[in-house]
Chains A and B, each alone.
Chain A
Amino acid sequence: EVQLVESGGGLVQPGGSLRLSCAASGFTFSTYWMNWVRQAPGKGLEWVANMKQDGSERYYMDSVKGRFTISRDNAKNSLYLQMNSLRAEDTAIYYCARAPNSRGWASFDYWGQGNLVIVS
């Protein structure tokens, strides 16, 4: 069974930093693109960042470029999101999400339960 479990969220002051982790199990983590998607309280989903299987490529939404860094450790089956210079508008539930291989590669087929980050 595919499982994605996020951790590391919490309350942080504006300008502060936080590192989210996503522990993956039930599939061969090293063969999938992985993503972070966030959802502000009562708002819609927002794609944040993704990373290629071997870590050689990573992409970000404009508003987090230069502040957030996505990384992964395939030996530990883990995805990370280092968030620096946090702003109130970064307050959200952050989801780790997997992108399928081949068919449906441009979608997100498994999601974690989410982890709340509050910047205040």
Chain B
Amino acid sequence: QSALTQPRSVSGSPGQSVTISCTGTSSDVGSYNFVSWYQQHPGKAPKLIIYDVSTWPSGVPDRFSGSKSGNTASLTISGLQAEDEADYYCCSYAGRYTWVFGGGTKLTVL
């Protein structure tokens, strides 16, 4: 149950796009289309923003998009806004009703 690998930080200016990668293995990301992404502002609980690789929960803007290729999933945030500054975590189903998260990526909006 090793953590998925994410960049520690990314940054972008308002209006730009950024992509956060999430690399796992053939036992988790590579085996299942069950990657989810969470946004966490400081001192707050995580919020689900993408599930099943690329599906938005109700109320999440389509500026957030997800994809997957092989053992790597990605979250792209387009039209960056100041309120997007937060930590982002990927998560993958790892089989046998267990899950594994990424280490988290801090997004800074310049």
Please report the total number of A residues contacting B with Cβ < 8 Å: 24
Residue of B nearest to A63 (CB): B1
Q: Is the CB of A45 within 8 A of B46?
A: yes
Judged by a CB distance under 8 angstroms, whether A62 is at the interface is yes
Q: Assuming the A-B contacts A45-B46, A47-B91, are A106 and B100 also in contact, with contact meaning beta carbons closer than 8 angstroms in the complex?
A: no
Q: How far is the CB of A10 from chain B (nearest CB, A)?
A: 19
Which one of A17-25, A76-84, A108-116 contacts B? A108-116
Which residues in A have their C-beta under 8 angstroms from that of B32?
Answer: 106
Encoded as 1 (CB less than 8 Å from any B CB) or 0, chain A from 87 to 108 comes to 0000000010000100110111
Which residues in A have their C-beta under 8 angstroms from that of B97?
Answer: 50, 57, 59
Interface residues of chain A: helix, strand, loop or mixed (majority): loop
Encoded as 1 (CB less than 8 Å from any A CB) or 0, chain B from 42 to 65 comes to 000111100110010100000000
Judged by a CB distance under 8 angstroms, whether A61 is at the interface is yes
Q: Assuming the A-B contacts A44-B3, A95-B46, are A107 and B98 also in contact, with contact meaning beta carbons closer than 8 angstroms in the complex?
A: no
Q: Once A and B bind, how many residue pairs between them come within 8 Å at the CB atom?
A: 72
Q: How large is the interface on B (under 10, 10 to 19, 20 to 34, 35 or more residues)?
A: 20 to 34
Residue of B nearest to A93 (CB): B45
Interface residue ranges of B79-98 to A (CB < 8 Å): 89, 91, 93, 96-98
Interface residue ranges of B1-28 to A (CB < 8 Å): 1, 3
Q: Is the CB of A104 within 8 A of B1?
A: no
Q: Is the CB of B98 within 8 A of A61?
A: yes
Residue of B nearest to A95 (CB): B45
Which residues in B have their C-beta under 8 angstroms from that of A50?
Answer: 97
Which residues in A have their C-beta under 8 angstroms from that of B55?
Answer: 103-104
Cα separation A104 to B36 with both chains bound (whole Å): 9
In the assembled complex, 9 residue pairs joining A and B whose CB atoms fall closer than 8 Å, in A order, are A37-B46, A43-B103, A47-B98, A59-B98, A103-B55, A104-B55, A106-B36, A108-B46, A109-B51
- Other A-B pairs, 6, CB within 8 Å; known A44-B101, A106-B52, A108-B36: A44-B103, A100-B51, A103-B52, A104-B48, A107-B91, A109-B48
Q: Which residues of B contact A (CB under 8 A)?
A: 1, 3, 32, 34, 36, 38, 40, 45-48, 51-52, 55, 57, 89, 91, 93, 96-104
